[in-house]
Structure 1
């Protein structure tokens, strides 16, 4: 009996040694593949907060070139930062001026008729459009960083202002209406300057490209439909902007409100402008034809109405444009009273829309010429020009896409083209405005219709449908909101859908199951790569998002659902049940306390199922927070790996056979 006990003890020890040796050899075999996850050094909390703030608001390090410079040089650099013209102006020469002169004269010929027409969109007298193309471009030329953008009133902002101002003061002939327009312009400038100085320009990026495409297209159709008043010669026209009200107003006036002489003039010049636009688009060398066509239309139609006295037959004309330079309007701004609140509200909305359009245009042409545009500097420049503009009888101005395109095609070299345009507008205000008295409104309507057609980007809408259905929904929501209600509702829908997309992506991030590609050590999404095979006894899940309070519970529940579904499917196959759950965390850029708690709950749920939790490739921020919490103690450092391959090599008993 004693010998048998001794024999059993020896056999048990030998068996244990064999098992131990096998395990040791297995781990030795895996050791060359195992790399410990690096733990970032602990940082000072205040230093970390400072670095985060610097990266958020001062990623471009705007003050770096001031370091080590003498006081006199710092003054020069400071002035150049505020007025970029002092920097690039030193290398300005006659060759560049020739290009800017031609471009400036060309865009001036386009902007003069457009300014008169756009002022009508804002329900302002024609001279206020010209005022806005005199002061604003001058200021931008000294402060802006774009070489190609052309400044002035634009159709969308003019319509937005006209609609929102009329909601507050229905009588747009009253002086209070004009004062409210200046007040809105003042606060639009304040908003834009504040965004630039506080370096909060990233806020305008919350308006997604899809939402802007839909908003612009809807605004273009709304603007074009409203021009039927001038094109058809209708006198009693609705003040509403939605498509139903506009079409009802058009058809109720069909028997007595339409004027056939006006229709003939309007359609004739509309056909001419469209033909010129088509020829310019077909051949880039003919760009000047599209640029000069509006001014030519105004001159010819004005002369025709004057010699035929068509205005006596019911053809509506401009009648009068105030002569002279901008009068001071600082005393007309509402700084108190019942219109202060609406003025701020309208100004903020108009300022943001104007800024979004300008920044988009500036970046587009900067990319074409391979130079950079400073977004925050642009905001300060736009804000300054609108603030000063509000004090000199201007309304909200921004970058115009049609004029900027002509400016670019005409060979502009610098912002001096804006100065040339401004001087031409000044000469027009001083000497030529009386000649526009007989300009028919039908021609101005035709000019606006042709100008806004370019805002409808059908190719972009088709691309949105192909790439992202949610983006397409945002686009259509903004579009239908504008045409069936008004521009404010369309803008609100655009913002809401854009935020909804962000929230959906944050709160419902993707999680995917990974498998091993045959003949490699690479692990990829099993749905994207059907040949990727899953590891027996293991489930590998990748989380494609940072883990925050907003999505932590969803991620935990989704991982458990993955586990349950995989368990059920593997029961029906020869695969062994899942013993290890590997969470691949390389896309997880950050995790908060809610995320830590969610993983603690996940660990406890897995323990009840007899499944071990393993983490793979956590980033430095995530690793630091894992060590700072109890989660690391719960999981164990031996369950944290640099890669999925390391984890499989360590715990996957059949990994070598896969």
Structure 2
């Protein structure tokens, strides 16, 4: 939008009816349907652009990831209290199917450490209560139901649920789970028998040191394996910086360190077992070749009821470990071709059919080293905790509570504690938003002052502002301004209304009649001492509400504004003007117009209900007043602005070379600048001076 310099612009919005919105929706329905189907199968949008260069890169990446996934998935199966081959089954399916339905190149769908831990805890709990259900049956039923629920959430596009889980909860959950998994692997790392690794983490920690003298030869493979993994990792990082020419080769060598470790450890154990009937270290032993466990799963009421209590936590883990992490990678890398997963899946199939005899001698301690090395990066270090404490102590509290609960109970309770505490804090912030009384600071005349009127411009800030508080001046006598830092809805409507009334009473004197004790409301603090202390204060003429941070106003919030207005009118003994600054959404403006705040004073009885819970009489004054206010939005004669109104398209913008003056609303109590609102209140005060 361009306009001549100095030309006044008056803002109004054309109301879109529900009928028009419905017609527009059905008109665009074919377009919405096409976008939905493309989003379900994103491979259709990029497979036609696939080329040989991408193929070679995906082939290398897929083989490299496959070498990592094979030992890691078997280790995670052990965490889940399942035979190792189930980890390979899960890895193959996820790797091959994922590229059809998603876009993140950096995610390898398959068994994960935290989900494996939850499955293991669920299997331990169910098998201790029932002897008719096996561990694999529990895992299959659990996977099928959580996968089905996750698919439903994806089909109906409920990925927004991820946004309700804050980063501090994710960090605390991941840290607690990583600590739990790491300590749970210590007995296998040291070859210690007789410790239940499905107990709470603090019990495993204590029992480990209790049985530490019983460590076996496994500890040599475990600790050496950890030393090898971290040595290769940091060594490759150092050499890549020292010799950038070989950084790509060093990167792939570092990625394959798990596979290299498993190969050498297995070879050493094989040589150690030549001529022996019993292995000196704990090993995997027989792993069936191929997909021998593939069959129709057993899913009945018994198995479903047995795992039902673990399903919510399983869904949350799926969301946390995949959606949240995928979003993070997407923000960092901003690229896709996830077809490399198919090549990784081929490596898994090759391992299942050709390499299972070699898996016999894989030492359990080495697999524990692989797991510990993989999950250690999930732990948030001191630097994260220090930054989190600087940002928000509440978020630090959520993080610490999540880690502690996970450590002393289980990963399930850690998840529930994290999510529940985050929701409670969120609801508290919504129900008790920040509220500020505003003063103003004069701005220097460096082009800020209005060129036409030469009026002083001001910056409006809270009186207790940490930097500008000493410079803040009060507004003109009888005029107050406050800011609400949250949507005005039913959880906080009563609180905000009370804060508005209390703020106005603290800074003005009563103008209305002081009622007797028996006639006063419970929240009326009128008494001789209070009234005498306020006698030197000015009477209340106008209240300005800065609603720039209010992006929603529901019926409860609107009624609360009406109630506050009524209470202030009674307190002042006359109509108190309510001015609104920075109304950001047309729906909020429309709601205020319906309530009569566009053209004040509000006609009809004070204290009327805008949307009464119990319908009033159709012939009563309340119904008439509300109807009049609703009709006022279309009645130009009721508007106290200019007769000629220019409708503005808010989607357009003014060019920088042709600046415009501050727009004016066609309703005199809606403003686009705080200065304009204060000046309007002062002008009306000069006309209707209050003694």
Q: TM-score range by the shorter chain?
A: 0.7 to 0.9
What is the Cα deviation at residue 416 of structure 1? 2.3
CA offset at residue 186 of structure 1? Answer: 0.7
> Distance in 1 between the 2:679 and 2:293 partners?
80
**Gaps in structure 2 of 5+ consecutive residues:** 1-5, 241-246, 444-456, 510-529, 603-666, 687-691
Which residue number corresponds to residue 650 of structure 2?
A: none
Choose 562-571 or 337-346, whichever is displaced more. Answer: 562-571
- 1:504 corresponding residue in structure 2: 428
Q: Name the stretch that deviates more: 570-579 or 586-595.
A: 570-579
Counterpart of 2:504 (choices 553, 563, 584) is: 563
Alpha-carbon offset, residue 415 of structure 1:
1.8
* 1:435-489 Cα deviation digits (max 9, x unpaired): 1111111101111011001101223332221111111111111111111110011
What is the Cα deviation at residue 94 of structure 1? 1.7
Query: Which residue does the alignment assign to 1:258?
Result: 215
Report Cα offsets for 1:575-599 as digits up to 9, x if no partner.
7454332212232222222222222
1:350 aligns to 2:314 (yes or no): yes
SS of 1:109 mapped into structure 2: helix
CA change 1:242–1:282 in 2 (3 A) is farther
CA distance in 2, matches of 1:582, 1:350: 49
Deviation at 1:614, TM superposition (A): 1.6
Quick one: which of 288, 291, 295 aligns to 1:325? 291
User: Residue 282 of structure 2 aligns to a residue in which SS?
Assistant: coil
Post-superposition shift, 1:419?
A: 0.9
Does structure 2 retain, via aligned residues, the 8 Å contact 1:270–1:446? yes
Q: Which residue of 2 is the match for residue 477 of structure 1?
A: 401
Displacement after TM superposition at 1:42 (Å): 3.4
Residues 434 and 635 (structure 1), Cα distance of their counterparts in 2 relative to 1, 3 Å cut: farther
Relative to structure 1, is the Cα distance of residues 572 and 79 closer, same or farther in structure 2, using a 3 angstrom cutoff? closer
Structure 2: how far apart are the matches of 1:352 and 1:93? 37
TM-score using structure 2 length: 0.75
- 1:640 and 1:248 mapped to 2: Cα distance? 67
Q: 1:648 and 2:585 equivalent?
A: no
| CA displacement, residues 155-210 of structure 1 (integer Å, 9 cap, x when unaligned) | 11111111123222239998622111111111111111111111111123222111
Instruction: Give the drift of 1:239.
Output: 4.3
User: How many angstroms does 1:571 deviate by?
Assistant: 7.0
1:276 is the counterpart of 2:232: yes
Name the residue aligned to 1:585. 547
Identify unmatched segments of 5+ residues in structure 1: 1-31, 55-60, 67-73, 372-412
Match for residue 428 of structure 1?
351
Alpha-carbon distance in 2 for matches of 1:134, 1:96: 22
2:563 alignment counterpart:
601
What is the match of residue 515 of structure 1?
A: 439
Equivalent residue in structure 2 for 1:44, among 1, 4, 17: 17
Q: Deviation at 1:639? A: 4.2
Is 1:304 aligned to residue 268 of structure 2? Answer: yes
Equivalent residue, structure 2, for 1:526: 463
Change (3 A) 1:344 1:363: same
DSSP 3-state at the match of 1:581: strand
C-alpha distance in structure 2 between counterparts of 1:516 and 1:283, whole Å? 59
Does the Cα contact within 8 Å between 2:153 and 2:159 map onto a contact in 1?
yes
Task: Please state how far the C-alpha of 1:317 moved relative to its aligned partner.
Answer: 0.8
Q: Deviation of residue 280 (structure 1)?
A: 3.9
Counterpart of 2:482 in 1: which secondary structure? strand
Q: After superposition, give the CA deviation of every residue in 1:255-297 in whole Å (9 maximum; x if it has no partner).
A: 4x421x1112211111111212223444553333432221111
Q: Distance in 1 between matches of 2:29 and 2:535?
A: 61
Deviation at 1:220, TM superposition (A): 0.2
User: Is this contact kept in 2: 1:187–1:343, CA < 8 A?
Assistant: no
Superimposed CA distance per residue, residues 41-95 of structure 1 (whole angstroms, 9 cap, x where no aligned partner):
33323555898x99xxxxxx995377xxxxxxx7xx8875543334322222221
Deviation track 1:587-641 (CA, whole Å, cap 9, x = no partner) reads 2222222222222221122123317242213342122112223566764565444
TM-score (structure 1 length as normaliser): 0.78
Do the aligned residues in 2 keep the contact of 1:121 with 1:162 (CA within 8 Å)? yes
- Asked if structure 1 preserves the Cα contact closer than 8 Å seen for 2:565 and 2:578, the reply is no
SS in 2 for 1:266: helix
Over residues 185-244 of structure 1, what are the superposed CA-to-partner deviations in whole Å (9 max), with x where a residue is unaligned?
111111111111111111232221110100000000000000012111122112434222
CA distance in 1, matches of 2:228, 2:589: 67
Cα distance in structure 2, aligned partners of 1:289 and 1:175: 43
